Amino acid sequence: MNVPPTSTLREGLAVIGRGIKDQPRWFALAVLGSIVYGVMTSLTAAAIGFVVQRAITPAIEAGHASAQQLWFIGGVMAAVVLTTIIGVIGRRIAGGVAMYNLGAIYRRRVTRQYLRLPLSWHHKHPSGQLLSNANADVEATWNIFAPLPMALGVVVMLVFGIVQMVVVDPWLAVVGLTVFPMLFLANVAFQRAMSPRVTRAQQLRADVSEVAHESFEAALIVKSLGREDHEAERFRTVTDELRDANIEVGRTRGRFDPAIEAIPTVGTLAVLFVGTLRVSSGQITAAQVVQIAYLFSILAFPVRALGWVLAELPRAVVGWNRVSAVLDASGSMTFGSRALPSGSASHVQTEGLAYAYEITTEEGEDDVNPALVDVTLDVAPGSTVAVVGPTGSGKSTLTNLVMRLVDPDSGAVVVDDIDLRDVRRGGVSDVAALVAQQTFMFDDTVRGNITLGAQHDDDSVWRALHVAQGAGFVEHLPDALDTRVGERGASLSGGQRQRIALARAVIREPQLLILDDATSAVDPSVEQAILGRLREASSGTTVLVVAYRMATILLADEIVYLEGGRVVDHGSHEALLGRCVGYERLVTAYAREAAEREAIAAGEEHDAELDDELGDGPERGAGAAAEEVSR
Amino acid sequence: MSMRSQVLVEHHGVATGKNMTTWQTLRRGVELSPELRKGIWVTVALAVLSTLGRVLVPFVVQRITDEGILADGGPDMRVVAGYIGIALAGVAVTAVSAYFVNVRLFRASESGLATLRRKAFRHIHDLAMLTQNTERRGSLVSRVTSDVDTISMFVQFGGLMLMINIAQVTLATVLMVVYSPLLGLVVWLCFVPLFVIIRKFQGIVGRAYTRVRERVGDMLGAISEAVVGAQAIRAYGVEDRTAERIDAAVEAHRKAAIGAQARSVVAFTSGQLVSGLTTAVVLVVGTVLAARGSLTLGELLAFLFLVNLFTQPVQQATEILNEMQNAVAGWRRVIGIIDTPADVSDPGESGVTLPRGPITVQFNEVGFAYPGGAPVLHDIDLTIAPRSRIAIVGETGSGKSTLAKLLTRLMDSSSGQVLLDGVDLRTIRFSSLRSRVVLVPQEGFLFGGTLLDNIRFGRPQASEHDVRLTLTELGLDPWVSTLPLGLATDVGQRGESLSAGERQLVALARAYLADPDLLVLDEATSAVDPSTEVRIQRALDSLTRGRTSIAIAHRLSTAQAADEVIVVDAGRIVERGHHTELVRLGGVYSRLHDSWVAQQQAI
């Protein structure tokens, strides 16, 4: 965290260089404006000296000021002022444009990375941090472009000022040459002291944002468990740390600021002292001393712009380091150049797939949590395969791998004899569609959420909605397809979101449709209807479906039973029921439960019948038991 | 349901504070952060002291010029040295008091703003669920982060400057009048148009910065989709479209920011222009006065220092006022949220504390409509006996989730009363209500951290042993043992290293450990596999004996296990009774049951 200041200066200059390279014209314009401003400001004192000599002194000596003299005074001063103002406007507007353009450029670059980097990268980075990278950190990096042109103008101003001093009197120039470097050194010392403190404050600012983000996302849980006090306490801890860090920044600023301000004043006094000596020895006039003293008072304030730039440097460097961590993030997914064949249902094969999530232990060491250990599958074109397994057995991970959202640690996913890693960018989503367990809605209209920007007419949108059993509720929305769903689809219920997500997949007429428990939030009757329509609609489609429901499972030509990240068994439902204990236990759970309860209920009424029913109960399959339920 | 989002924004949204004047905003801001006011007069006194030192310089320059350098009989070194000594003392006083002003100001502002952050944070959690849902989460976050940061920038940099500047302008005016009342008047007259311009520009610039802040919110919303929707974006290959949407938001922000910058530059340079022209006018008028002999050249030149001393702070003040507009815009947003009434509010100290023990639930003619929307529930009359296990079933949109939200007071009913143990829900203290009634929603959010910490969230004082006991009771031991580090497993951001079903298991264990007397499960096991669900169901059966439990489910396995099933249809309770009775009845429930059974039907 404690970056050596010299490297901060170097890194800071590198950041500035990068910014100039991206916005050379606006920056040049801003610097030009600033130079005009700098030159004119330092000429103000000379202009005053000039009018004093040419008009004011003669007028005083004559005891009368002519109109011509007065116009001369006013004219010269107004010209100086107007030129200065033009410089200022140029500097500020062009500087602002450069700064905001840079912000926009880097926000685009950072978010491109978010879109480009693989899902596994996203899993490792808190979303609060990523938001802060794209917003606050980009801003912190380029804020330096606000005072920078001014500071460069000030350098020009100083050079002009010193030239004036040399012209008037070399001894007074010596005072200037002592004071201004001192001012610069004081600013450097200031920046060195500030750098680590500012870095810390910025890190804490990001922490505050992260806590707030997480806590607000969890608002419902916090409320329903009554943990508001606890959350407020957690937030208080980070805000207090931020407060203390900021106060420390203020204390440091307090130590340097007044000293830096005092230096030019002391310089003015030194000019008067030396000037008096020079006047005594008859080398210069009193008016000249006053002119140089005035020059000091004019320069004192702008010179601080150098300090502002130096003060912004650490912030810019920290911001840039955080931004560039995203821009330089590697481990990107590599793509081939091949396209998956289109026009017929896909043939999906996986060979010895293994995948583990990276986790961090309590000791902060990296460890892995294996989700898939060894999964080999062969899904024939046009077939429907159900993936069944207990909670946490790796089903969703498998769907992510088949969709190539993540790459396997070992093994391969092969579709139509092409390894997915050889497929070009966007090639997988061209032919395949995944409806994830948890749906994501864009802050867009219902239509936009279904078409995702592709060209589909309203008829096909409605057709897709009919398949997904969503047409009914969409018709009743205030603006039907044009209804905005709000952030993350906040205005819709979970079941409504799932149906829109299904329609989103259906409208693409995919060759491979992957459903990851995609109907968990809809009613059984709706689910039945969806599955029925899906079956009709997806004749040319290979379907991989993660399911718990018997009805869904029964749509499948083949069932793959996963447990602990391995394929324990696969085959037809009947075959698995007979030989796979885990599978049987899972899919018949409801029916067995129902049967038992039914039996108990019946037993209470008809004790006699109970023995008969229980006698052959456990040995029978779920079918028999369920039949009993529906009796 | 359908009209919900539109209506909410109109009727239930978060106040933006847009209609507050600058002055009202500042006053309310200081009221919310009393630390800002504490000891302010000492700080102001110190600021005035530090200004005195600054004003001393032109005074000394004039004296040195007139009495030292231009003294009769040549420059008088003694006088010069004497005045320089006085000036140096002044510089020292300025530096020391400026240090204290700085430190005091930072301490006051940072403490005050930390308080503001905390108040806003707490209030956001206190807001009604419906109100929370009208705002983007990112926008809520900005209320406690970037909005407050803009205020702190202003208070620390602008606030200090403004104080010093006001003192400086006052002192400069006094000195100008002492030197030459006429020239002092000239300076003030020159600045009158500036004040008019500034007032006008304040409004324009203020509105421009409000727009910028709105665009920032939109931009954050667009960017967050690329982060939170990472999976969906990749699954559908819509990277380009998302990029376009982000670019549009980034571009809108850039334009708004440059627009605001241009406006503030015009406002700022008008100050500089007036300052420069004032110098010119002073020289012209001063020359006339000097020619008449009522002013010496030294006095005229010293006066120029004074003009500089006067114009610099005024110029700066115009800029600070622009910055203030920015800060006020941020402040308004924070105040807006703090002043948004928490519709579903805690009765606090005056509220009732319920004794522990199984709860009786009673609905008296309860009706509910989303603000401005059609009624979702009609005349619900319902009594749920203590220790009973109730299942509420019904189709999507029937209003069953609404019942759960009214019951746990996430929302208040539009008409009628909900009573717990005969006490109106609205009069029960939250501390009592939340510890006794717990809702497990379908999507139980997990925090980044270990499994243990997440389960303990509902009862932080619980020991690891308590947590293990809970897991054993719920039959979740075998699952935990499959995790690489057991309870110490890091669940990842938002619990992303766990599957959706596993997250539900954690949420359930979390609620269970909190040990409520009334447990409300809203589709809490929808993503859990059937055999685990049945196992949990059984565990809950035996464990909920001492408490009341209400489960909302579309998997009817839950309904079969319940003591009583309540069937909701189109906002009314249409059937009620035991599963077997309702199946025989041949009504809504039996239809739901048929399709459920059909789903389970093997072969």
Q: Which residues have C-beta within 8 Å of that of residue A30, sequence separation ≥ 6?
A: A90, A91, A92, A94, A95, A98, A149
What local confidence, expressed as pLDDT, does residue B15 receive? Answer: 66
- Domain of residue A528, CATH code: 3.40.50.300
Tally of domains in chain A = 3
Mutate to test the interface with A, among B84, B156, B596 (most CBs of A within 10 A): B596
What local confidence, expressed as pLDDT, does residue B11 receive? Answer: 42
The percentage of chain A sitting over the pLDDT mark of 90, rounded to a whole number, equals: 11
Please give the DSSP secondary-structure letter assigned to residue A422.
Answer: G
Within an 8 Å CB–CB cutoff, is residue A345 touching chain B? no
Say if A340 falls within a structural domain: no
Helix (H) or strand (E) holding B545, with range, is none
Taking only the tens place, the pLDDT of each residue in A182-219 is 887 887 788 778 878 888 888 898 889 888 988 888 88
**Inter-chain contact B498–A392, Cβ cutoff 8 Å?**
yes
Using CB atoms, pick whichever of A357, A564, A589 lies closest to residue B482. A564
DSSP β-bridge partners for residue A372:
A355
- Is the pLDDT assigned to residue A609 strictly greater than 70? no
* Strands ordered across the beta sheet of B361-369: B375-384, B361-369, B415-420, B423-424
A566 and A598 in one domain?
no
Mean pLDDT of B207-217: 85
A555 and A624 in one domain?
no
Q: Which residues in chain B are contacts of A455 at CB distance < 8 A?
A: none
Taking only the tens place, the pLDDT of each residue in A266-295 is 888 888 888 888 888 888 887 788 778 877
A287 and A237 in one domain?
yes
Minimum Cα–Cα distance from B535: chain A residue = A589
Mean pLDDT of B528-551: 77
* Strands ordered across the beta sheet of A418-419: A418-419, A410-415, A348-360, A366-379, A566-571, A558-563, A384-388, A542-546, A512-516, A432-435
Within an 8 Å CB–CB cutoff, is residue A367 touching chain B? yes
Going through B256-341 in order, the beta strands assigned E by DSSP cover none
Q: Which residues have C-beta within 8 Å of that of residue A145, sequence separation ≥ 6?
A: A16, A19, A27, A95, A98, A99, A102
Structure tokens that stand for B161 in this block: 């400057």
Q: Which residues in chain A are contacts of B298 at CB distance < 8 A?
A: 286, 290
**Distance between B379 CA and the closest CA of chain A, angstroms:** 23
**Inter-chain contact B527–A520, Cβ cutoff 8 Å?**
yes
Mean pLDDT of B195-202: 79
> A521 vs B485, which has greater pLDDT?
B485
> B520 vs A302, which has greater pLDDT?
B520
Say if A244 falls within a structural domain: yes
A527 and A469 in one domain?
yes
Say if A562 falls within a structural domain: yes
pLDDT band at B5 (very low <50, low <70, confident <90, very high): very low
Taking only the tens place, the pLDDT of each residue in A547-576 is 877 777 877 888 899 888 888 888 888 888
A491 and A392 in one domain?
yes
pLDDT band at A625 (very low <50, low <70, confident <90, very high): very low
Within an 8 Å CB–CB cutoff, is residue A70 touching chain B? yes
Minimum Cα–Cα distance from A214: chain B residue = B447
Taking only the tens place, the pLDDT of each residue in B96-125 is 998 998 899 889 989 999 999 999 999 998
Reported pTM: 0.77
**Inter-chain contact A626–B410, Cβ cutoff 8 Å?**
no
**Inter-chain contact A258–B100, Cβ cutoff 8 Å?**
no
Of the candidates B266, B520, B478, B265, the one whose C-alpha atom is nearest the C-alpha of residue B390 is B520
Please give the DSSP secondary-structure letter assigned to residue A341.
Answer: -
**Inter-chain contact B597–A528, Cβ cutoff 8 Å?**
no
pLDDT band at A25 (very low <50, low <70, confident <90, very high): very high
**Inter-chain contact B269–A85, Cβ cutoff 8 Å?**
yes
> B292 vs B543, which has greater pLDDT?
B292
What local confidence, expressed as pLDDT, does residue B254 receive? Answer: 94
Mean pLDDT of B16-44: 84
Please give the DSSP secondary-structure letter assigned to residue A444.
Answer: S
> B77 vs A331, which has greater pLDDT?
B77
Say if A578 falls within a structural domain: no
- Domain of residue A167, CATH code: 1.20.1560.10
Say if A298 falls within a structural domain: yes
Last residue of a domain, one of A327, A361, A396: A327
What local confidence, expressed as pLDDT, does residue B247 receive? Answer: 94
Handedness of CA A219, A220, A223, A225 (dihedral sign): negative
Within an 8 Å CB–CB cutoff, is residue A91 touching chain B? no
ipTM above 0.85, yes or no: no
- Is the pLDDT assigned to residue B599 strictly greater than 60? yes
Last residue of a domain, one of A295, A327, A359: A327
- CA angle (A341, A346, A351) in 5-degree steps: 105
**Inter-chain contact A268–B61, Cβ cutoff 8 Å?**
yes
Residues A598/A629, Cβ–Cβ less than 8 Å? yes
Mutate to test the interface with B, among A216, A280, A546 (most CBs of B within 10 A): A216
Q: Which residues in chain B are contacts of A551 at CB distance < 8 A?
A: 598-601
What local confidence, expressed as pLDDT, does residue B4 receive? Answer: 35
A483 and A605 in one domain?
no
**Distance between A577 CA and the closest CA of chain B, angstroms:** 10
Residues A373/A442, Cβ–Cβ less than 8 Å? no
Within an 8 Å CB–CB cutoff, is residue A277 touching chain B? yes
Last residue of a domain, one of A327, A360, A389: A327
**Distance between B446 CA and the closest CA of chain A, angstroms:** 8
A369 and A267 in one domain?
no
Q: Which residues in chain B are contacts of A115 at CB distance < 8 A?
A: 226, 233, 239, 242-243
A357 and A316 in one domain?
no
Of the candidates B59, B299, B304, B321, the one whose C-alpha atom is nearest the C-alpha of residue B187 is B304
Say if A585 falls within a structural domain: no
**Inter-chain contact B511–A225, Cβ cutoff 8 Å?**
yes
A275 and A148 in one domain?
yes
Within an 8 Å CB–CB cutoff, is residue A96 touching chain B? yes
A363 and A282 in one domain?
no
Q: Whole-number mean pLDDT of chain A?
A: 82
Spatial distance between the Cα atoms of B106 and A239, rounded to a whole number of angstroms: 15
**If you average pLDDT over each of A87-101, A348-362, A387-401, which comes out highest?**
A87-101
pLDDT band at A604 (very low <50, low <70, confident <90, very high): low
Q: Taking a contact as any Cβ pair under 8 Å apart, which residues of chain A between 552 and 591 contact chain B?
A: 552, 554, 564, 573-574, 577, 585-591
Say if A263 falls within a structural domain: yes
Taking only the tens place, the pLDDT of each residue in B293-345 is 888 887 887 788 788 778 878 777 777 776 787 788 888 888 988 888 877 87
Structure tokens that stand for A303 in this block: 């010179």
Say if A580 falls within a structural domain: no
A206 and A142 in one domain?
yes
The boundaries of the domain holding residue A626 are 592-630
A626 and A547 in one domain?
no
- Is the pLDDT assigned to residue A28 strictly greater than 70? yes
The percentage of chain B sitting over the pLDDT mark of 90, rounded to a whole number, equals: 8
